[in-house]
Amino acid sequence: MRYRVPKREFEFVLREVMNIEQLTQHPGYEEVTWEMLQMITDQVAEIAEDIWLPSNQIGDQIGAKFKEGEVTLPPEFHDAINAIRDTGLVTLFAHQEYGGMGFPTAFEVLGDEVMCATNMALATMTGLTKGAYRCIHQYGSEELKALYLPRMVSGEWFGTMCLTEAHCGTDLGLLRTKAIEREDGSYQLSGEKIFITGGEHDLTDNILHLVLARLPDSPKGVKGISLFLVPKFIPASDGSLGERNAIRALSIEEKMGCKGSPTCVIALEEAQGWLIGEPNHGLRAMFSMMNHERLAVGMEGVGIAEIAYQNGLAYALDRLQGRDLKGARYPEQEADPLIVHPDIRRMLLRAKSLIEGMRCLAVWTGISIDRSQIGGATREANGELVELLTPIVKALCTDLSCEIANDMLQVYGGHGYIREHGMEQLVRDLRIAPIWEGTNGIQALDLAGRKLPRDMGRLLRRFFHPALEFIELNRDDTNLKEFVEPFAKGLRGLQKTSMFLAQKGLGNPHEIGAGATDYLRQFGLVALGYMWLQMLKVAFAKCDDEEFYEYKLITGRYFFERVFPETISRAVAISAGAKTMMAMPDAGFAGDYRFSGS
């Protein structure tokens, strides 16, 4: 596999489109100069390209090894973690009082893209550690923060998220893990968790598990769930490791992909833990972690799509197959390269236009998180925009990126299907992303069932208003007119669909469920269209400066001509309603089959 960090693309989105340097005007970001960001990007690129990428295929081939409750990972994974520890890169996004550098989320999402592109299995564990850090920072006591956070920031200790049980996945109200308060104020936890990414490994001295559990006499359902910090080793007040806690891995899963990342079954056998946040308010604390994780999972998609695109492009440029339909493009060669063929170009241009749009959308979400945290008049508006965009980024970016990875494998033909070129690993690794952190169907229900009707569409207005303002300001721009007009139609179509679902859903919740996935895709493509308008506006202003901007115009034109029209078919599908979807009796799905329970 080959990979180069797309630094020029990063600069374009961060600096030219999203104006990240404006953040330096606010307290906490004064040192985040563009020169500093460039220096860090160069450092990340060197580690990702030279150390993380070579470790990726090794992790797939060797995988995590489980023996007698212990999990070992390949030596190359240790080298990769040590590389970011030794350079201090793990400290970038943490708070300064705990040893971090306080870099903005807008930059973090691109770091996630790079690490996921080069070793997704390993990046999932570092990403979960960042999420656990945020949760403890926001909801943990001062004593817990002082003890645990500096060691998470340094990379000495990793974190996990322990939600799922064998009988409950999305429906956390069914969970059975129990917690009983001890005399010293800590808690005793008993139960079993499954699908715990990084639940056991040898990369760090300690692993900090954030565990959802029930207190005695707690309310039923999700209102009776509390959150606890359960360390693998119980540390002393000075951070030195004490006795092994009564939490252990029973096994690791045999998986389709991400084989270098151990997915564990975890048993808590009266393990000692400490309450995070208020009793019976564990979901609120956990979701402070999960929302960032959903953005990070979206970037898993963008990262894998980017490396798949780079390799698909390289193969299309190099592989000689057939002749251009108009005649030999390179008559001096025995055949033309794949890239002369329209269908190959279709897959490459679709990938390129979607990747650049998704990256921009994720950075916009990240910078909105940053703006929501620095106060001021726009704090609430940015926070609500993030709430709206989070399920879109998670679901849209992972669904589209799975499609891109499959297309790039298709560019390789049969060579993509075998292990030699590494393309099939990308397809396998990424397939978990639409499932992780709430399946994409759940993200769609969150968008259509919760975000759409909330406060009479208040969250939707956080997107519609700036998009409509852009249309008004630029509808007479001769350069942008060919793009603004289809976007305006697409935006009106999205508004109509939103109204249709809101009205129909009041009388029949099945209408929301039946249209949710199509609605998220329609909304997501319109959001990508808005990102492309902003990118095109910059590109037109600078197209005489370098070819980079001319290529942007071509890519954006492809998006609006060949990709954006999908918004129409999604709207048509939604308008069909739930009647046909719900008409089939449960037994009708089985037909002649005889399944238990049918």
**C-alpha span between 160 and 252 (Å, rounded):** 15
pLDDT at 377 over 80: no
Q: How many CB atoms lie within 10 A of CB 385?
A: 22
Is residue 356 assigned to a domain?
A: no
pLDDT at position 286: 84
Collapsed DSSP state (helix, strand, coil) of residue 258: coil
Is residue 308 assigned to a domain?
A: no
Q: What is the pLDDT of residues 431-445, one digit of tens each?
A: 999 999 999 999 999
Q: What is the pLDDT of residues 176-193, one digit of tens each?
A: 999 999 999 999 999 999
Q: Are residues 103 and 164 in the same domain?
A: no
Q: What is the pLDDT of residues 238-293, one digit of tens each?
A: 999 999 999 999 999 999 999 999 999 999 999 999 999 999 999 888 887 777 88
Query: Sorting pLDDT into bands at 50, 70 and 90, what band is 595?
Result: low
Is residue 193 assigned to a domain?
A: yes
Number of domains in the chain: 3
Domain boundary among 230, 249, 280: 280
Q: Are residues 138 and 11 in the same domain?
A: yes
Mean pLDDT of 50-71: 97
Q: What is the pLDDT of residues 333-361, one digit of tens each?
A: 999 999 999 999 999 999 999 999 999 99
Q: Are residues 80 and 174 in the same domain?
A: no
Q: What does pLDDT average to over the chain?
A: 95
Query: Sorting pLDDT into bands at 50, 70 and 90, what band is 597?
Result: low
Mean pLDDT of 537-546: 94
Q: Are residues 185 and 136 in the same domain?
A: no
Query: Sorting pLDDT into bands at 50, 70 and 90, what band is 169?
Result: confident
User: Which phi and psi (to 5°) does residue 251 adopt?
Assistant: -170, 170
Q: Which residues are catalytic?
A: 437
pTM: 0.96
Is residue 195 assigned to a domain?
A: yes
Q: What is the pLDDT of residues 381-429, one digit of tens each?
A: 999 999 999 999 999 999 999 999 999 999 999 999 999 999 999 999 9
pLDDT at position 596: 61
pLDDT at 598 over 50: no
Mean pLDDT of 529-537: 98
Q: Are residues 127 and 186 in the same domain?
A: no
Highest mean pLDDT among 23-37, 137-151, 162-176: 137-151
pLDDT at position 12: 98
Q: Are strands 206-213 and 263-276 parallel, antiparallel or unpaired?
A: unpaired
Q: Are residues 179 and 81 in the same domain?
A: no
Mean pLDDT of 294-317: 98
Q: Is 431 left (phi over 0), alpha (psi -120 to 50) or beta?
A: alpha
Give the structural domain span for 201.
Answer: 158-280
Residue 171's alpha-carbon distances to 167, 225, 267, 392, 447, in angstroms, are 9, 12, 20, 21, 17
Q: Are residues 13 and 136 in the same domain?
A: yes
pLDDT at position 174: 84
* CATH code of 68's domain: 1.10.540.10
pLDDT at position 374: 85
Collapsed DSSP state (helix, strand, coil) of residue 294: helix
pLDDT at position 291: 76
Is residue 113 assigned to a domain?
A: yes
